[in-house]
Amino acid sequence: MNRFFGIDDANTSVRRELLAGLSTFLTMSFIIAVNPVFLADAGIPFAAGFVATVLATAIGTAIMALWAKWPVAVAPGMGLNAYFAYGLVLGQGFSWQQALTAVFVASLLFFLFSLSRIRGWLISAIPASLRAGITAGIGLFLAMIGLQGMGLVVDDPDTLLRLGSVAAPELLLALVGLLVMAGLAARGIHGGILITILGLSLVGWISGLAGFGGIASPPPVASAALSLDFSQLASFSFLTVVFVLFFLDFFDTTGTLTGIADLAGKRRDDGSIENLDRAVLADTGASVVGSLLGTSSMTTYLESATGLRAGGRTGLTALTVAALFLLCLFFEPLFASIPPFATAPALVFVAAGFLAPLAGLDWDDMVTAVPVMLMAVLMPLTFSIAAGIAVGFIAHVAICLLAGRGQQVNAGTWVITIFGMLWLATPLIGG
């Protein structure tokens, strides 16, 4: 184990790696409760979504551990799962089988793309402000879903949205849960999200607000596995969805891996990152596996930083996370009993972290401010990440041209802008 993972070379120990893996697991294990809910909204049975989430996370993280040897975990991405359920299935009318096919095709293209040098060119081609706008927009998209799940925001025929009934016990519990999550995080307590979700669930079970279906059982059957439907493969709307998924996964994965490289001890003295290509391929390979098992796009989890801060430096940390996720296969009745008012606050809490990139932007520059604002506002209000990306890029290019700064628009930005225009024109094209 020492020779394979290079534990001594990384100046760590087996005990430290195991504890780091436990820290990462506790921080990100909320995805076991949350992701199957998104998949269920898309039409995938909860049990099938549960086993797909757990198996895909375990397999993807094991690939990251054994091949890339990075101390990070891979799981269904927050935001990507929301786009899968509310954008593709409920929004654009794809079946969940067709949506899984879009994830599969996008992941396979991303895998092949990661083998080429074009990846580095595209990373440097997209303006940092637009990447920040995409991240913030996805965060607000998650927040809107969470706020509606809590009952804090409800539909209104006159004003579009309004405040929900603050007298509802489920809403009051959800609000308390959100504050507790934030408080535990502020105190540096690992696993605060999971602790709060289980605590709220316990209150719901005892009070009768939620039913309790048991704790453990044999693992469910992966009934959503190998359910791909290629019937829409040639349609323009499907190809546009593939591009959006590819684009989101690309920046999510690359941004997270490069962002935590220093903390993971993977950045060399010359500035290059050790085994970055393997880590990216492990991430994209996990998405391919996930789509075949029946879940939305996978991505490297920023919550892995918890384990890194606990001293995790090798693939043994990730392998520990994978093993702990596999153990969760036996607790489907417990996770299926968790009520919506317990998971909804987690979406709002996680969404807050997506807004951090906005702090470094120049808000006095309208080339930055207007496109980012449009992205961040349109994604939650239209329930479409693709709409936010398309309008944001078009606005960026148009304002640059009108401001006499057309030379700032590079080829990569033009490519994405043209795709955005085609996506907006899809109803006219009839694709």
Distance (Å, whole) CA 246 – CA 125 = 16
Neighbour count for residue 227 (Cβ, 10 Å):
19
Domain count across the chain = 1
Q: Look at residue 220 and tell me if it is in a domain.
A: no
The DSSP symbol for 204 reads H
Structural domain includes residue 227: no
Phi–psi pair at 424, nearest 5 degrees: -65, -30
Q: Does 224 reside within a domain? A: no
Cα 219 to its chain centre, rounded Å, is 25
- Residue 223's Cβ-side half-sphere holds a number of Cα atoms within 13 Å equal to 13
Query: Pairing state of beta strands 160-163 and 153-156?
Result: antiparallel
| CA terminus-to-terminus distance, the chain | 53
pLDDT in tens, the chain (431 residues): 788 888 888 888 898 899 888 888 988 888 998 999 999 999 999 999 999 999 999 999 999 999 989 999 999 988 889 889 988 999 889 999 999 999 999 999 888 887 876 766 666 667 888 888 888 888 898 888 889 889 999 888 888 888 888 889 999 999 999 999 999 989 988 778 888 988 999 999 999 998 998 898 999 888 898 999 999 998 888 888 888 888 778 777 776 776 677 767 777 777 677 788 888 888 889 999 999 999 999 988 877 877 887 788 899 999 999 999 999 999 999 988 989 898 888 888 888 888 888 998 999 999 999 999 999 999 888 877 778 888 999 999 999 999 999 998 888 788 888 877 877 776 554 44
List the beta bridge partners of residue 55: none
The pLDDT value recorded for residue 430 is 45
As beta bridge partners, residue 267 has 273
Give the relative orientation of helices 340-353 and 128-150 as an angle to the nearest 10 degrees.
160
Rounded to whole angstroms, how far apart are CA atoms 135 and 132?
5
The verdict on residue 219 lying in a domain is: no
Tokens of 225: 């596995």
Within a domain: residue 184?
yes
* Contacts of residue 353, Cβ cutoff 8 Å, sequence gap at least 6: 139, 302
Q: Say if 226 falls within a structural domain.
A: no
The residue range of the domain holding 393 is 2-214+234-429
Q: Is residue 225 part of a domain?
A: no
Sign of CA dihedral 235, 240, 243, 249: negative
